[in-house]
Amino acid sequence: MRVCPAVGIAAICTTLCSCGWLGNPEAEAAFVDSLRTVIRGQSDISQFDLAETTSFDWSTAHVFRPYTSEKAVNEAIGKRIYSRSLHLRDDINLLVFTENGEVVLTVEVPLGVCDFAYPAEDRWKASNTNYRVANGSALFRVVIDDTGYCVAKPLDVLPD
């Protein structure tokens, strides 16, 4: 029996999508647009709640900085996901939203929208590549400099 190549490709795509490999471009774009609106839409913003930028259920947001290795991403999430070649990139932060240990959405946030930096605390070292925040306490302090560069730092992070 021959299988139509289109059927085989559809099955592969369905499998990859369900594992988070291909992502959800529409949901990603909607999140980035919402984030941009919340941050850039207010001239006097000093902080925001990450939950204000989402329209889906999530319990934890994992924030990965540029150049984070695929291994570090997978270990932090607890499963293998498509990390968007983050280990080679300096133009994005990768946000991975999870609910009950399952990936809900993986989003590339361009640094031009806002750079999700580390908390300004001594315990964070330059070698740290990621942190986690919980829904309900995912407040970020925002600083936008004279050139328009935005930096968002979490006010509270989850322990490792």
Instruction: Report pLDDT for 40.
Output: 81
**68-94 pLDDT per residue, tens:** 999 999 999 999 999 999 999 999 999
- Reply yes or no on whether the pLDDT at 33 is more than 50: yes
Least confident range of 13-27, 58-72, 105-119 = 13-27
The secondary structure of the chain as a DSSP string is: ----HHHHHHHHHHHHHHTTSS--HHHHHHHHHHHHHHHHT-TT--EEEGGGG-SS--SEEEEE-TT--HHHHHHHHTS----TTGGG-SSEEEEEEEETTEEEEEEEEETTT-EE---SSTT--TT--EEEEETTS-EEEEEE-TT--EEEEES-----
Average pLDDT over residues 46-57: 94
